[in-house]
Chains A and B, each alone.
Chain A
Amino acid sequence: MHDNEHTSHHHEESFIRKYLFSLDHKMIGKQFLIYGLLMFFLGGGLALLFRWQLAYPDQPLPIIGASQQYMDEGEVVTGADRMWERIYESEKEEWLEINMPNGVVDPAFYNMLFTMHATVMVFFVVVPILVGAFGNFLIPLMIGTRDMAFPILNMLSFWFAVLAAVIMTIGFFVPGGHAAAGWTGYAPLSSDAQWTGVEWGQILWGLSLFVQGLSSLVGSINYITTIINMRAPGMTFFRLPLVIWSLFIVAILLLLAFPVLSSAIVLLVFDRLAGTTFFTTTAEGGGDPLLWQHLFWFFGHPEVYILILPGMGIASELVAVFSRKPIFGYRSMVYAMIAIAFLGWIVWGHHMFQSGMRPGLGSVFMTTTMLIAVPSAIKTFNWLGTMFKGSIRFTTPMLHAIAFVSMFVIGGLSGIYMANTPVDIFIHDTYYIVAHIHYVVFGGSLFAVFGGIIFWFPKMYGRYMNDTLSKIHFWLTFVAFNCTFFPMHILGVGGHMRRISNPMQYEFLQGFEGMNIFITMSAFTLGFAQLILVFNFFWSIFRGKVAEQNPWHVNTLEWEAPTPVPHGNFGQIPTVYRGPYEYSVPDEEDDWIPQTRPEHAPATGGD
């Protein structure tokens, strides 16, 4: 009754209402996606700058770097030399002059680069895409409702995120440079400007994350409410697709975890602006640097699961759809995610084994951390079980899902080394950790993101992405990714510390020069491969082949909606009669049964 009125009430919306301050969950989802892809370039670019320095320490960057003659004799030979000449002659201190004189990355600038690389990737790329983009686009469509519970809050969530990105970007240009104390912002390095020379950068860093926290807060309340209250008739919790389960759990984690970071940031900013010394000790007393670490990681560990759970959800959808089989152990998949969500709160100390925390606690946190490896293993075995006796279609989204599973296995296994306190003594703060992070977050989450984008693109934009380009992008990414990050395990085993700008300063790292160069070349390949994805994405929005309503023959509700999905999503709110993974049911003609098909109804072909 109300439903029909909603859709028939079709009116033209102004450009601003439709594309900028949209209240429609699908548009907000797409906004988050484009936002995340743009920030992906910022984050990636920062990484390439510091990778250059690691391979060729103290040598000028290609293209913008000054020539050898210019640096030695002041003789202008290249165009870049002319630029440097102009910069040095100008009266004011130019940004380039301070941060990379002659195109050589300065050590302080180096610290800023990796700090901001991680900050941008974690808070402005992976979470906005996984949670903001997929969460917004998929939740109402997959649970069968017309929009989010609070559309205005939803819009606010996006614009808070934009504000946060603007604040974060301003930080690059303030005197003293941007934050340079690591994405983990350990105090006292971060809490007093005298230790880094960074003035406003660190404060803007904090402020920006605080605003991003508001965005997450508003978003997560919305997701939780929507999933609890607005499921279509018949959509019980155990008929929810796993990706919705993962987003539901992530929303709860975000709701509870982010405020801890926000509070810690407020204390940090007080330390900086008012000298409150919450995180430093003074002669008369004061606080404790470890307090920051406890607060940060109490947030931080749930945060890393926020980064992976939606990826697991997406991979589960893709593996089931393209194996044409039900998810193996649907319920145990759900319980494993719930277990991760609980255990995730009691493992944070594994980031602090060597911090000076009481050693007895190290043993406790080792135990809980070992425990959390169990649900991760369960999920992996269930993905394998899903492929067992399937009929696997190697579509590009499926290739990404397979990459996700195999890369996550490597990342999960490397976690066991670090969870082991004695072994962690050696590999803590080395490239081993860097390898682990990237196997779980790039190899895991980002492959799921890529696969998800290609998979849902036809529903988002009514067109396919170009498959040849997608395949080239996949293989280049897969190979370059492994060439970039696998050798980092070896660097770590060799004792190569993370966060150093020049490994050649150390006798025991001399043997790693070649490996660092190899990693950097792979990283550049990896970076440039992403241009293919972004080109393909934007090109396909306008020029892609027009897609039908349900091209992959998927059961879940989003594919019941017409393409392109209209305002209000469904003509009639669908009724759900079965679980999301009824593929290859015996004695059925088709190998799929939409969730909306009633029990015992005569089989009807396709759509």
Chain B
Amino acid sequence: MLQWLPENVSTFGQGVDNLFYAIYYITLITLILVMATLITFLIKYRYQEGKKATYIEGSTTLEIVWTAATTVIVFVLAMFSYPQWNKIKSPTSFPENPDVVVQVSGKQFNWDMTYPGPDNEFGTDDDLTLENELHVPVNAVVHIQLTAVDVIHSFFVPQLRLKQDALPSRFIDMWFEATKAGRYEIPCAELCGFGHSGMLGYLNVHAQTDYDAWLQERWPQ
């Protein structure tokens, strides 16, 4: 089933996929065991002439065993997930000194990408806002300040394994580092009105030289 996952192109994506795979195998094995047991019981203990069911009220040992076993499994899973989650979502553990900082703002039904320009400050004259096109260099740390102007939207790049809701009047920090050049879709993943379907931006990940050329073109010096 997991071969349907889109290709991963972010540095933290592999960690997400590993957890995905781990849970997949754990749940698959559980499912197979439970179903096999169920089917065996259904066949073996089906009604047969002259055979009576055995009166069993339960087993405290078994109850303790399966309670403990499931608790341990889910907690081990949780232990592996905390660091991964913090790495992706917790601003205090983001890589410092980003190569690029962009403000992304969702509005019915487009993404506005605002670059601070050469002075690296938002709100100045050299800011540049592009509709639906985000340009970043490959293998570089990108910080995004995510917001929205009207309703809630959600910034989703399947290949980055990144999704974050955008809230009106609030800036939420996120980061990523793309490992492969290409053009990726940025669908909106949170219902935002009649144009929600088709609200779509693009993430253009450029090789460093191409990115420099793009910068040069935008802010000629």
**In the complex, A370→B71 CA distance in Å?**
8
Quote the shortest CB–CB distance from A197 to chain B (angstroms): 7
A505 pairs with B53, CB closer than 8 A: no
Measured in the bound complex, the distance between the Cα atoms of B47 and A182 in whole Å is: 47
Tell whether A475 is near chain B: CB-to-CB under 8 Å: no
Nearest A residue to B162 via CB reads A425
Segment 70-94 of B: residues with Cβ below 8 Å from A? 70-71, 74-75, 77-78, 81-82, 84-86, 88-91
CA distance A367 to B158 in the complex (A): 25
180-221 of chain B: CB within 8 A of chain A: 185, 187, 189-198, 200
Which of B60-68, B98-106, B132-140 faces chain A? B60-68
Check B20–A490 contact: CB distance below 8 A: no
B31 within 8 A of A: yes
How many angstroms between the C-alpha atoms of A37 and B63 in the bound complex? 38
In the complex, chain B residues 112-129 whose Cβ is within 8 Å of any chain A Cβ: none
A188 near B19 (CB under 8 angstroms)?
no
Q: Is the CB of B27 within 8 A of A417?
A: yes
Q: Are A416 and B16 in contact (CB under 8 A)?
A: no
Knowing A421-B81, A494-B5 are in contact, say whether A325-B55 is a contact too (CB < 8 A): yes
Closest CB-CB distance, A175 to chain B, in whole Å?
16
B180 CB to closest chain A CB (Å) equals: 15
A323-B53, A402-B42, A417-B20 in contact; A380/B191 too (CB < 8 A)?
no
Q: Find the B residue at minimum CB distance from A328.
A: B58
- A360 proximity list for chain B (CB < 8 A): 90
The answer for the CA separation of A325 and B57 in the assembled complex, in Å, is: 8
> How many residue pairs, one in A and one in B, have C-beta atoms under 8 Å apart?
271
A356 interfacial contact with B, CB 8 Å: yes
A392 within 8 A of B: yes
Q: Check A329–B31 contact: CB distance below 8 A.
A: no
Point out the residue from A197, A324, A508 that lies within 8 Å of B158, measured CB to CB.
A508
B78 to chain A, nearest CB (A): 5
Contact of A584 among B16, B55, B66 (CB under 8 A): B55
Whether A500 and B197, one on each chain, are in contact in the complex, defined by CB atoms closer than 8 angstroms, is yes
Query: Quick check: A499 and B1 within 8 Å, CB to CB?
Result: no
Give the contact-size bracket for chain B: 35 or more
As a 0/1 sequence over residues 60 to 78 of chain A, the CB contacts with chain B under 8 angstroms (1 = contact) are 0000000000000000000
B164 cross-chain contacts in A, Cβ below 8 A: 354, 356
Chain B residue nearest to A499 in the complex (CB)? B191
- Chain B, Cβ-Cβ closest to A511: B4
Residues in A whose Cβ lies below 8 Å from that of B187: 497, 500, 506
Most chain B Cβ neighbours within 10 Å, of A390, A422, A490: A422
Note all chain A residues with C-beta closer than 8 A to B55. 325-326, 583-586
B35 pairs with A381, CB closer than 8 A:
no
The interface residues of chain B lying within 8 Å CB-to-CB of A505 are 197-198, 200
* Residue A540 is within 8 A (CB to CB) of chain B in the complex: no
B2: chain A residues at CB < 8 Å are 493
Residues of A within 8 A of B74 (CB): 370-371, 373-374, 416
B53 near A391: Cβ-Cβ < 8 Å? yes
In B158-174, the 8 Å CB interface with A consists of: 158-159, 161-170, 172
Query: Which residues of chain A are near B200, meaning CB under 8 Å?
Result: 505-506
Q: Does A355 contact B (CB under 8 A)?
A: yes
A36 to B46, CA, bound (A): 34
A385 touches B62 (CB 8 A): yes
Which residue of chain A lies nearest to B171 when distances are taken between CB atoms in the complex? A356
17 contacts between A and B (CB under 8 A): A188-B151, A195-B192, A328-B58, A356-B164, A360-B90, A370-B77, A380-B34, A384-B41, A385-B62, A389-B53, A406-B35, A413-B31, A422-B88, A423-B19, A423-B23, A490-B1, A497-B189
9 tightest Cβ-Cβ pairs between the two chains A and B: A495-B158, A329-B58, A108-B194, A370-B74, A500-B197, A281-B169, A584-B53, A389-B54, A391-B53
Q: For the A-B complex with A328-B56, A354-B164, A414-B27 known, give 9 more contacts whose Cβ atoms are closer than 8 Å.
A: A188-B152, A189-B192, A328-B59, A370-B75, A390-B41, A391-B46, A426-B158, A428-B189, A508-B158
Binding site for B on A (CB under 8 A): 106-108, 110-111, 180-182, 186, 188-189, 195-197, 280-281, 289-290, 323-332, 354-356, 359-360, 362-363, 366-367, 370-371, 373-374, 377-378, 380-382, 384-385, 387-394, 402, 405-406, 409-410, 413-414, 416-417, 420-423, 425-426, 428-430, 489-490, 493-495, 497, 499-502, 505-508, 583-586, 591
